[in-house]
Amino acid sequence: MAAALVAALGTGAGIWDYGAGLGTLRYALYATVAGGLLAIIAFLMSRRRGVRTGRLNLLALTVSLLFVSYLGHQIATARSVPAIHDAATDLDDLPRFAMLTVRPDNLDNIPDNGRPELAAMDPESRWKALHREAYGDLRPLHVAASPAATVRRVERRVRDRGWAIALADPQAGIVEATATSLFFRFKDDVVIRVHPDPARPGGSVVDMRSISRVGSSDIGVNAARIRSFLADLARA
């Protein structure tokens, strides 16, 4: 547990890169499993000898199980989604950043998962195919409010979530911000685009895109962020 915390805080402070930090988590997992097994052995031995250390061993075992369960859930999630790190509501007309920039390697290393039809595609088409399979539920949000009013609502919701706003332009209908994770301090850049709804006079269409600055897979975080934010905005 201590190694995992040090790995996260060290990565967040920039002492080492994210690859080293995440690599440490793997060894922390092994150590935690070993510690849990030792806690079980110690608990059984204390019961046999009548020594009153059972509660401490039980506490150590509980902490180990919680940590292993958390990492196990993360690993399972990573295996259930494609190794991509860019999610959006409109793949045919992607929201574009005006202030923040898309990472230069954004379309590098898009996996083909051993599928010939994906391997035959260019990187952007392959990314879109994987995205549609995994995150086909992401869609633009239609609201009754005007674009200017919607941008103001978007900006308020962004601030409520603690994201750092880089741009809020009601005239252009754009809000850009950066979301930072708690421990590892991973940064994901977000752009939210608002434009008039052609099917609803006076209404607006909201599109959103979220991109991780580092890593190949975001384990579904960006798509989850979009779902959560747009659901929150729809309730406002």
One DSSP character per residue, 60-122 reads HHHHHHHHHHHHHHHHHHHHHS-S--EEES-SSS----SSS---TTTTTT---TT-HHHHTS-
Given 57, 80, 103, the domain boundary residue is 80
Query: How many other β-carbons are positioned within 10 Å of the β-carbon of residue 137?
Result: 9
Note whether 121 and 160 are same-domain residues: yes
Note whether 159 and 133 are same-domain residues: yes
Note whether 173 and 224 are same-domain residues: yes
71 or 142: which carries more pLDDT confidence? 142
Q: How confident is the model at residue 1 (pLDDT cuts 50, 70, 90)?
A: very low
43 or 13: which carries more pLDDT confidence? 43
Taking the model in full, what pTM does it have? 0.76
Domain coverage including residue 121: 86-235
Per-residue pLDDT reduced to its tens digit, 150-200: 999 999 999 999 999 999 999 999 999 999 987 768 899 999 999 999 999
118 or 80: which carries more pLDDT confidence? 118
pLDDT number for residue 69: 73
Note whether 146 and 180 are same-domain residues: yes
pLDDT number for residue 76: 78
Q: What share of the chain is helix, strand, coil (3-state, %, to 5)?
A: 50, 15, 35
Q: Domain tally for the chain?
A: 2
Q: Mention every residue, 6+ apart, whose C-beta is less than 8 A from residue 94.
A: 88, 209
Strand 204-212 with 86-88, pairing = antiparallel
Note whether 216 and 103 are same-domain residues: yes
Six-digit token string for 18: 């994210």
pLDDT number for residue 11: 47
Note whether 199 and 171 are same-domain residues: yes
